[in-house]
């Protein structure tokens, strides 16, 4: 069944994670994504182990990192410094609806593939540029990687335990969120193009998008003038809303209102805590966090995870486990929701690769998993032949 973006052509000049996250999403929704790579391939092909292996047990160019964001794409491997290749890409951009790239600002100008050149030549083109700091500002020429964006954008300053060093989030979340913003911006620009015939340039920065998802913590500063600090797993505005140790693992208790708190106290066998003036409201609990949280921790540490989960679920108090990645991806819930998928990959020893699924569930135009992440240049001949035939 065709996806909602069936017929859309995307020329993907991006690499690493932010751009590929965007284009994989567009590909999942039915777009034809032509991924242009250097002759050596996307940098992330070498970011391993682990790698998918071939029948002889040798590593392929399909690292787990690369496969995380490159399904539903065709791979064309070329030398971008070749004038003939540059002309070919210029022509290909003219047949595309979208161009996406993550070179340094101005880096594609010497090849004639910058947004000014291509948008002037093809007025209906939607051209998305992703960079560390954006196309303007005093830092525009500085390189940008996920870790640097997390540091500059503020999220690391509030991640980690109080008094300890700042911590990054455990995955490249700045890249991923930037990719999601890119997909949203591209779809909005396409709607404008379809209504008016006008394409446009989208300027997106890793650092900007990182600041955008500071959400309540960013607003806590803008409202109070006081910068938030690291508090481990504690919530800055709600108590109790954090991780607690049990006898055999960790649970998350997320008490969102005072009635839930009263039911939580019932489970703990501490009804007096629900009427204690220090704890009766969330505002009071915030003020007396340092007193209440150790009391809760002591009450929970001798109980099993399952006892806490069963007891709080029975009382309709939000609770859940802290799963390992294995437990999360192999859970009944993940399987029921299609959050792991398997796609054919003949070059691998098993003939297939296992990937994380797309979370979007459409009632009319479901996500379409057409192809596994490609080998470097797997589609070069086919794409170039088609382009020559069209000229």
Active site residues: 175
Closest of 128, 139, 114, 214 to residue 179, by C-alpha: 128
List all residues 6 or more positions away from 323 whose beta carbon is below 8 Å from its beta carbon: 331
Helix-helix angle 83-95:380-390, to 10 degrees: 70
Rounded to 5 degrees, φ, ψ at 89 are: -65, -35
Two structure tokens written together for 64:
């787990």
Order of strands, sheet of 200-205, starting from the edge strand that comes earlier in the sequence:
74-77, 32-37, 9-13, 98-101, 126-131, 200-205
11, burial (CB in 10 Å: exposed 0-12, middle 13-18, buried 19+)? buried
Beta bridge partners of 98: 10, 126
List all residues 6 or more positions away from 33 whose beta carbon is below 8 Å from its beta carbon: 10, 12, 23, 24, 26, 27, 72, 73, 74
d(CA 178, CA 172): 10
Rounded to 5 degrees, φ, ψ at 373 are: -55, 135
Closest of 33, 31, 199, 26 to residue 125, by C-alpha: 199
Q: Decide the pairing of beta strands 51-53 and 74-77.
A: unpaired
List all residues 6 or more positions away from 355 whose beta carbon is below 8 Å from its beta carbon: 67, 68, 71, 340, 341, 342, 343, 372, 373
The CA-atom distances, in angstroms, between 167 and each of 152, 224, 232 are 13, 24, 10
List all residues 6 or more positions away from 26 whose beta carbon is below 8 Å from its beta carbon: 5, 8, 10, 33, 98, 183, 186
The three-state secondary structure class of 274 is helix
Give the position of tokens 């399952």.
Answer: 306
């Amino acid at each position: 069944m065709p996806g909602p973006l069936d017929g859309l052509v995307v020329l993907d000049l991006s690499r690493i994670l932010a751009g590929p996250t965007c284009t994989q999403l567009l590909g999942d929704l039915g777009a034809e994504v032509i991924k242009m790579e250097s002759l050596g391939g996307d940098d992330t092909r070498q970011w391993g182990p682990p790698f998918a292996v071939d029948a002889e047990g040798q590593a392929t160019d399909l690292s787990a990192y690369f496969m995380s964001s490159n399904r539903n794409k065709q791979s064309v491997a070329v030398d971008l410094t070749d004038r003939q290749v540059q002309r070919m890409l210029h022509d290909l951009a003219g047949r595309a609806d979208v161009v996406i790239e993550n070179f340094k600002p101005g880096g594609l100008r010497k090849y004639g593939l910058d947004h000014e050149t291509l948008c002037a030549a093809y007025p209906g083109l939607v051209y998305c540029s992703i960079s560390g700091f954006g196309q303007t500002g005093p830092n525009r020429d500085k390189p940008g990687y996920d870790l640097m964006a997390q540091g500059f954008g503020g999220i690391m300053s509030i991640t980690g335990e109080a008094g300890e060093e700042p911590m990054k989030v455990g995955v490249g979340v700045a890249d991923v969120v930037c990719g999601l913003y890119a997909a949203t911006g591209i779809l909005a620009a396409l709607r404008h193009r379809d209504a008016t015939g006008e394409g446009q340039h989208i300027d997106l920065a890793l650092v900007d998008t990182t600041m955008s998802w500071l959400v309540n913590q960013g607003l806590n500063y803008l409202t109070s003038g006081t910068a938030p600090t690291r508090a481990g797993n504690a919530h800055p505005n709600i108590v109790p809303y954090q991780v607690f140790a049990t006898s055999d693992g960790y649970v998350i208790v997320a008490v969102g209102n005072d009635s839930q708190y009263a039911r939580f106290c019932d489970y703990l066998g501490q009804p007096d805590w629900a009427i204690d003036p220090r704890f009766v409201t969330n505002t009071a609990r915030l003020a007396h966090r340092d007193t209440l949280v150790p009391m809760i921790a002591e009450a929970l540490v001798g109980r099993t995870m399952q006892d806490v989960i069963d007891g709080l679920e029975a009382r309709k108090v939000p609770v859940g486990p802290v799963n390992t990645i294995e437990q999360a991806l192999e859970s009944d819930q993940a399987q029921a929701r299609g959050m792991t998928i398997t796609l054919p990959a003949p070059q691998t020893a098993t003939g297939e690769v296992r990937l994380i699924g797309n979370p979007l569930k459409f009632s009319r135009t479901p996500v379409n998993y057409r192809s596994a992440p490609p080998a470097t240049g797997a589609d070069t001949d086919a794409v170039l032949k088609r382009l020559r035939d069209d000229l």
